[in-house]
Structure 1
Amino acid sequence: MIDLSHVSKAFGENHVLRDVNLTIDKGSSMVIIGGSGTGKSVLLKCILGLVPPDSGTITLDGQDVTKADRDAFLARFGMLFQGAALFDSLPVWQNVAFRLLRGSLKKPRDEARAVAIEKLRRVGLKPDVADRLPAELSGGMQKRVGLARAIAAEPEIIFFDEPTTGLDPIMAGVINELIREIVTEMGATAMTITHDMTSVRAIADRVAMLHDGVIQWTGPVSQLDSSGDPYVDQFISGRAEGPIEAVR
């Protein structure tokens, strides 16, 4: 469904992506692992067309993402941001229904609210949460609201940017389970950026290791522990010694 061919991107002398080749199959869950500053977020932004690659091509269903109609193209995506990224001044239901209250997906206000409450229920939040402000919610609840917003418009593709950052292990487990369940239920294509190995094992069908702008390894999650790749081996074991140099 998503295909990256020889994609490179630099900002001045900083070469962030170097000849990246990656394929994400329709209905599958791909997880991109790698340390901070390895190019994961830039890769995601290139797929969304927010940052144009310097070379190479990125296609969605065979169509070049840089030439797609922007509104129609972005309407196919849902996004769970790293910090939930909720609008402080809007009640929860308006955050969830944000895309349903404007633009090409606009619905009547009462219908949009009903959809929001249903999506909140799907992520385990009660209807009385709908009229609260984000500041009144815990970090875990905010993350669930962000997930409800990501699925509100029934997207074909969902991106998850560090979905468990800042959460305790129990809530992180809850979010991982929700992501896996929802992606399976919706039949959506998913791409997740994370360095949390618990998340990787919980939600991935396939895994790609990105280091220094290069895809070092890609394969099914079942082969992660036996990849034979020194970069993957060091990353998943958390060793300081290896080809990945620790920033000191």
Structure 2
Amino acid sequence: MAPTPKIAIEDVWKAFGDKTVLAGVSLSVAPGRSLVIIGGSGTGKSVTLKCILGIERADRGSIRIDGTELERIDRRAFLRHFGMLFQGGALFDSLPVWHNVAFRLRHGRQPMSRRDARDLAIEKLRRVGLGPETADLYPAELSGGMQKRVGLARAIATDPEVIFFDEPTSGLDPIMAGVINELIRELVTEMGATAITITHDMTTVHSVADEVAMLHGGVIRWQGPVAGMEASGDPYLDQFIHGRAEGPIAAVR
């Protein structure tokens, strides 16, 4: 018997005014698995994540976490078991690196002491390849790759059950992007976390995905194991993964 999905979305619709972004999205990810959602810009990848988080309310459809409808889940309790790496880093410029990493631990319902929070932050920074000397620097003093690592350290600071990665290699050179992809794969495997990544970078897909879902036209065109993409038979997925100009996906001009 298959395990209950960690996250399951069924026939989810979402519109903003007269623009329908999600038109019946259905997908699921099992506990401990890494799902990557691919698709072009403006196809609804970020909106899908926001609906899962409850930041946006779906117009209709079902979103379940561990088999329980999202509306019935204590939002604070859910968020305590969740981590996220934001596309732009989203670090607090006015706070040192260690405080960025431990922000939720310092400002939660039961705040951790400054000393313990700093020690934990240094340990998480070490896990992503940054030394203790980084802890007292400010985000502006870091390179783009280092900022991504700090964002990763913050995402895993609470040892979450679920981690979302929003375009994790955006703005990075190919070498640093490869480093970040390897770190994501290692961290997700090590922690046994369930991961959802949204990206248009096929290198990230091959590096971090167990399964892939192709989002286009407000629906999931295909979902399956990463090894099955080449033989999917779906013309949208085939055009996207090979970067072809010709096909059912019209180029945005």
Distance 1:237 1:244 in 2: 12
- Runs of 4+ that moved beyond 3 A: none
Query: Are 1:112 and 2:131 counterparts?
Result: no
Query: Are 1:157 and 2:162 counterparts?
Result: yes
Gaps of 5+ in 2: 1-5
Does the residue aligned with 1:52 lie in a helix, a strand or coil? coil
Distance apart, 1:107 and its partner CA: 1.1
| 1:221-240 correspondence to structure 2 within 5 Å | 221-240=226-245
| 1:1-248 correspondence to structure 2 within 5 Å | 1-104=6-109, 106-248=111-253
Distance apart, 1:62 and its partner CA: 1.4
Larger deviation, residues 98-107 vs 46-55: 98-107
1:113-143, CA deviations, whole angstroms, 9 ceiling, x for partnerless residues? 1110000000000100000000000000000
1:141-160, CA deviations, whole angstroms, 9 ceiling, x for partnerless residues? 00000000000000000000
Does the residue aligned with 1:226 lie in a helix, a strand or coil? coil
Identical pairs, percent: 69
Distance 1:154 1:105 in 2: 16
Distance 1:155 1:51 in 2: 21
Distance 1:45 1:216 in 2: 20
1:38–1:78 CA distance, 2 compared to 1 (3 A): same
Cα pair 1:80 1:147 within 8 Å, conserved: yes
The one-letter amino acid of 1:159's match is: F
Distance 1:197 1:96 in 2: 28
TM-score, length basis structure 1: 0.99
Aligned-residue Cα RMSD (Å) equals 0.7
Does the residue aligned with 1:38 lie in a helix, a strand or coil? coil
The one-letter amino acid of 1:181's match is: E
The one-letter amino acid of 1:233's match is: D
Distance apart, 1:240 and its partner CA: 0.9
Does the residue aligned with 1:85 lie in a helix, a strand or coil? coil
Count of matched residue positions in the alignment of Structure 1 and Structure 2: 248
Larger deviation, residues 225-234 vs 132-141: 225-234
1:28-56, CA deviations, whole angstroms, 9 ceiling, x for partnerless residues? 00000000000000000000011010000
Larger deviation, residues 201-210 vs 67-76: 67-76
Distance 1:106 1:194 in 2: 34
Distance apart, 1:104 and its partner CA: 2.7
Distance apart, 1:76 and its partner CA: 1.2
Distance 2:59 2:78 in 1: 21
Gaps of 5+ in 1: none
Cα pair 1:99 1:105 within 8 Å, conserved: no
Distance apart, 1:79 and its partner CA: 0.2
Distance 1:84 1:130 in 2: 16
